[in-house]
Amino acid sequence: MYKDTIAAISTPVGEGGIGIVRLSGPKARAIAEKLFDHTLSDHRLVYGHIVDPKSGDVVDEVLVSYMKAPNTYTREDVVEINSHGGAMPLQRVLELVLTAGARLANPGEYTLRAFLNGRIDLAQAESVLDVIKAKTEASLRLAVSGLKGRLSGELKAVRSELISVLAYLTARIDFPEDEVEAQDVQPPLEQCRERLGDLIASADTGIAYRQGVRTAIVGRPNVGKSSLLNLLLREDRAIVTEVPGTTRDTVEEVVNIKGVPFVLIDTAGIAFSKDVVESLGIVRSRQAIEMADFVLLVIDQSEKLMHYDREIMELLEGKTVLVVGNKSDLPPKDVIKDIAWPVVSVSALSGKGLHVLEGSMVEAVLGGKVISSDAALVTNPRHKALLTNAYDNLVQAQKSIKGGMPEDFISIDVTAALTTLGQITGDTVTEELLETIFSQFCIGK
């Protein structure tokens, strides 16, 4: 356990009914009792007041809970002071707590202590942030699954199998003269490789639910991109006029479509322009395309394709694209036959075709995959990269076996796989990596 006691405001900034100042560490109770005018009781809320010890002034009317280690979030003594949720009372309570002997917590330090004290592993700790940032019910469900240790349990089973294989290989290497009964390590390695492969295959779906799908809405001027954004959001977020070039900068909004968060980016119409501001908007549109996971290419299906349409199509090579044939309420031109990507006809004016479009968007990014409630799902790009490395290590170990290589070569790759998987669960993790991960958390969590 840490020797110092930390404190921070653990509720969002702003006005609210209740705000919480949280303390964690060996002096949490002693510090709180210097300021609180009643006696604390383990795992009970106690009503009273926070009093400035120097002036004797009452700072706020509060409820205070004291939770004795190890039955707490951090496995340390924890005190939570529930005050009124305004900026001034919270800040004043925090100042008194820090003056009384606590240190201001670093970002994510409560969760870091929960990890270092063994209450959760590293994958579960990262899931805490996913719970906080969940954008849809489906992404929240996945985050809670990670917090409960579903992925961790799968990885621990793989690591346990690999440790058994490594123990056998080490015995063969260290005691060559002893009669160590021969074992075929190929089947367990193959089983572990397959399990990692299944997790890797789930990653793109899981990451889409967790992070959202960056979706650039692109097209030439005046084809209805902003109208389409408003239709998907079901509100008037972007300015819509009949004048081409109305959108001069990118506009981002998040929409929940069948549980998948889509980060919609409305871009300026791409066409040659002498207007300096409009040209800058077009540059940002091109940048949005480069950064997008998915592209909605909007065309006006009531007109023939123009050279600007074809130039934009060339920019989209290598991207996942769904073409939106807008203005289906007008007499159509036969333009769909000239397009290689899937096309959905809609009317951004009337809303016709919206549900088909939404279904096609989900199908395009997930390929028909759905979340299984009982399956471990990889939702973190860091985890995907590490799983891929470990998978490659096991492939190399199997090649060494088939090539008749000595146990030393096989053990090197098995050890590498174990070390890599340990960077997900936290069994083999550096201080630098921990700092990087927990710096993404807010102060107070």
Q: 225: domain CATH number?
A: 3.40.50.300
| Residue (of 185, 87, 72) closest to 417 by Cα position | 185
Residue 153 identity (one-letter amino acid): G
For 396-441, what is each residue's pLDDT tens digit? Answer: 999 999 998 988 999 999 999 999 999 999 999 888 989 899 988 8
Q: Which of 366, 393, 422 is the last residue of a domain?
A: 366
Q: Is residue 183 part of a domain?
A: yes
Residues 297 and 403 both lie in one domain: no
| Residue (of 241, 236, 293, 298) closest to 267 by Cα position | 298
| Predicted pLDDT of residue 370 | 60
What does pTM read for this prediction?
A: 0.82
Residues 281 and 345 both lie in one domain: yes
Residues 289 and 265 both lie in one domain: yes
Q: Is residue 443 part of a domain?
A: no
Residues 245 and 202 both lie in one domain: no
| Residue (of 241, 213, 216) closest to 227 by Cα position | 241
Phi, psi of 354 (to 5 degrees): -60, -45
| Residue (of 23, 104, 106, 127) closest to 426 by Cα position | 127
| Residue (of 148, 131, 202) closest to 387 by Cα position | 202
Domain that holds residue 56: 6-105
Mean pLDDT in order along the chain per 10 residues (445 residues): 89 89 97 96 96 95 97 97 94 97 95 95 94 88 91 94 93 76 89 95 89 90 88 69 47 88 81 47 72 91 85 87 90 74 92 94 81 72 96 96 91 96 93 90 85
Tally of domains in the chain? 3
Residues 343 and 322 both lie in one domain: yes
- Cα–Cα distance for residue pair 378/368, rounded to 1 Å: 17
Residues 199 and 216 both lie in one domain: no
| Predicted pLDDT of residue 13 | 81
Residues 240 and 328 both lie in one domain: yes
Residues 362 and 385 both lie in one domain: no
For 282-314, what is each residue's pLDDT tens digit? Answer: 566 678 788 888 999 999 988 888 888 888 888
